[in-house]
Amino acid sequence: MIPIIDSKRQYATIGAEIEKAVCEVLRSGSYILGPNVKALEAELAKYIGCNYTVGLNSGTDALHIALRALDIGVGDEVITTAFTFVATTESIEIVGATPVFFFFFPDTFNIDADKIENLITPRTKAIMPVHLYGQPCDMDKIMDIAKRHNLYVIEDCCQAIGAKYKGQNVGTFGDIGCYSFYPTKNLGGMGDGGLITVNSENLKNRIIALRNHGGAIRYHHDEVGVNSRLDEIQAAILRVKLNYIDEWNNSRRNHALTYNELLADCTDIQTPKELADTHCVYHQYTVKIPNRDEIHKMLQESGIGAMLYYPIPLHMQKVHAHLGYKMGDLPITEKNTEMVISLPMFPELTLEEQKTVASTLISCIEKSKALV
């Protein structure tokens, strides 16, 4: 079996460091918003290239609190994608705003910035681009549109830590950037965790208050907040892993190049493409193939841990039925969700495993064609 991701292999290489860091927290008696959270926030601000970061308990809360901090709520619209994990639009609905779905480039699965202005109305308050699978969006165009229309930009970087656009880290272009430390992420904890990046001190202070029951001073509550504090143990784990993130991301990029070469001769496989001036970190390596569902089943039966992200676009999910979208409203999105499949991708993946994945995928495609 070749899994889609293998966290045990990563732990085998850095487990001693992780255990040492965790035991130090346990012995310290400081478990909530302690020195590791503060240190991680500073280290990530330096790494990402922003003035401030705020640790939270999940990427979903990062998105939700970002919207709250910008006073986006009932009656407002947020332009975003229908091809991503539900946390993106869930956060918009949590604050009472309405997600408005855009078209995307079929080659990169990211926002088609040229189509954004067609969706702007007097109720539009923000654009929420998603750097899906670790591929940066075209931030120059997005920021230009936002500036001309006086809109906020909240970057969903939950799959994209270390990804760059024109040499600049994602999460530093918009008003707020949002990250996830879910265990399967490129920088993943051993539990939930999230982060917000921001350059405004006023926004930073409000986010800090919102994550801690709406108050900057203990027992002084200025607004309704939440309990969304990054755990001290997770912060200690992430500080260890942060030392390796560039190495791991480079390994992912090398694996992507290897897959590209191994799959190049199969015309039925469309491999991922990077936009010019972008540095993708390949949270997932996602290809497009015909007869996807049938081939996915064949791969699983052959011991290849391929995954389908995300088979039902968000405008067709029951949770968003009240928005009134119907099948055919986003034809490019709908077509692509029927074709995409993600192959095993993690830093410790071996060349032999990649060769097995590639040859098995090509064999399954040929078998599928023969059955037609």
Quick: pLDDT tens for 161-174. 999 999 999 999 99
pLDDT mean over 1-11: 96
pTM over 0.75, yes/no = yes
- Sequence-distant (6+) residues with CB within 8 A of 71 are none
Quick: pLDDT tens for 31-75. 999 999 999 999 999 999 999 999 999 999 999 999 999 999 999
pLDDT confidence of residue 372: 63
- Sequence-distant (6+) residues with CB within 8 A of 15 are none
**Percent of the chain, pLDDT > 90?**
93
Per the structure block, which two tokens stand in for 91?
Answer: 């956060």
- Sequence-distant (6+) residues with CB within 8 A of 261 are none
Rounded (10°) angle between helices 201-211 and 59-69: 120
Quick: pLDDT tens for 83-130. 999 999 999 999 999 999 987 777 888 988 888 999 999 999 999 999
In angstroms, the CA 326 to CA 306 distance is 29
In angstroms, the CA 261 to CA 347 distance is 18
- Sequence-distant (6+) residues with CB within 8 A of 369 are 268, 291
DSSP designation for 136? P
pLDDT confidence of residue 102: 86
Quick: pLDDT tens for 246-299. 999 999 999 999 999 999 999 999 999 998 899 999 999 999 999 999 999 999
Quick: pLDDT tens for 133-183. 999 999 999 999 999 999 999 999 999 999 999 999 999 999 999 999 999
